[in-house]
Chain A
């Protein structure tokens, strides 16, 4: 699913990731952890191709995005659902419209997917907020809407960057359960978080591998959690 080999990336003259190696199997559940500024978000950006590595090899779904052009990278990106810490819902669209947005972006007619959108809204518990604007939602509701948006096109890989960073512990658990459920449906899930409490809670409900990022290096971790 994801293969990193000697992957390096730096901003200007500061090297953030140094020769990172990792393998993430399809259908697995991973946490990416490490202190603030360790490069968790940078690594996620490399995985969803907002950034391109300086050197090394990255394989996504068996494809090398560096070898292809923009079209190939776009096709890869469409197989990835992204959940951001700051949600990134479009303020001028309702919850329903935000969730349906990827359908339109991918060239599908959202009107043909009413049932999917409604089902997803039910799943994340936002049916009663279908016509609300994002500003009217709580942080937890916004994050659940963002998760629904991330999975409406049924991507193979879910990347979540600090998905519980802006919500309380109870809502954090609810969001975690949604992501675990997605994993049980066969989706590969990678969550970047510095919240060790969340990881400890997750270990009770899902078999997760933990990748620890420190000093630009990635290592398997979690035995201390």
Chain B
């Protein structure tokens, strides 16, 4: 006799027809969305970290006036300031190259009153911005110390907000998946009260019945999630320039993408199992 009623054998609960396929489809869609949301969250987190690292490690000094004496005085002050690792005055050609996109290649920059810029590399927690600004003002009036805080903050906040939104979206997808599985489990039980009654009458424990109902739901949820996560990972990998997306190794075979694709199906199956277990046991308690 073929093995009966165990894993991979004759199911104790009827297959469920289109409802079973709907569970697989819904799990696939949920996993697809979860992978996309998590990928967006990871990308935002990496982007924020990169901005934070790059921008918090540098500053710019705009030197007041256009004489070399002022530039030299400012460089001297910067060289002696704690928290500054290096300071380098940009050459006029470099400044011209920076402005070229806005002013055009033919602009006569030498005729414009463009202040000299110094690129500053910070170390540790950086200098005391207020006292440094006062010293620079004294050495070369009109000099400004810019640690990028004015626009670094909103950028990093925006990246953090996107990161949290993406993770919140993932959590909502997980919650929706749990609800969907719980509904499917209850519907399965409601459609098979006759089976439940017979199994109880021949001496079946509710624990046995619950397992019989949960097992196929677990299988369907896991299968759907694997399909959905695989599709999402494939889509991300096929995006143009996917391998270069900041901080997220999206190229085919990329570690983080592969990790996502592999982590979501078991997580979905676990959520499905927990939701189905709670729903089935509650429904069994309600049955006379």
Residues of A within 8 A of B (CB): 48, 50, 74, 77-78, 82, 88, 90-93, 96-97, 100-102, 104-107, 110-111, 114, 117, 149, 153
Contact = CB atoms under 8 A, between A and B. Distances in A.
Given A88-B194, A92-B14, A92-B15, A97 B199 contact: no
B160 interface: no
Interface string B1-21: 111111000111011000000
A18 to B, nearest CB: 23
B96 to A, nearest CB: 81
Residue from the set A77, A100, A105, A114 with the largest chain B CB neighbour count within 10 Å: A105
B205 interface: yes
Nearest to B10: A97
A74 B203 contact: yes
> Quick one: which of B5, B14, B195 has the most chain A CB within 10 A?
B5
B10 A102 contact: no
B1 A106 contact: no
A74 to B, nearest CB: 6
Contacts of A93: 10
A61 to B, nearest CB: 14
B203 A77 contact: yes
Interface residues of B, number: 22
B218 to A, nearest CB: 19
Contacts of A110: 1, 3-5
User: Lowest 4 CB-CB distances: which A-B pairs, in order?
Assistant: A78-B203, A104-B5, A105-B204, A92-B14
Nearest to A48: B201
Contacts of A117: 1
Nearest to A149: B202
Contacts of B198: 88, 90, 101
A187 B202 CA distance: 17
B259 to A, nearest CB: 39
A105 B1 contact: no
A114 B1 contact: yes
Given A88-B194, A88-B198, A91-B14, A105 B4 contact: no
Q: Which of B3, B4, B199 has the most CB of A within 10 A?
A: B4
A102 B1 contact: no
Given A100-B1, A110-B1, A111-B3, A90 B202 contact: no
A122 B204 CA distance: 26
A105 B4 CA distance: 11
B1 A74 contact: no
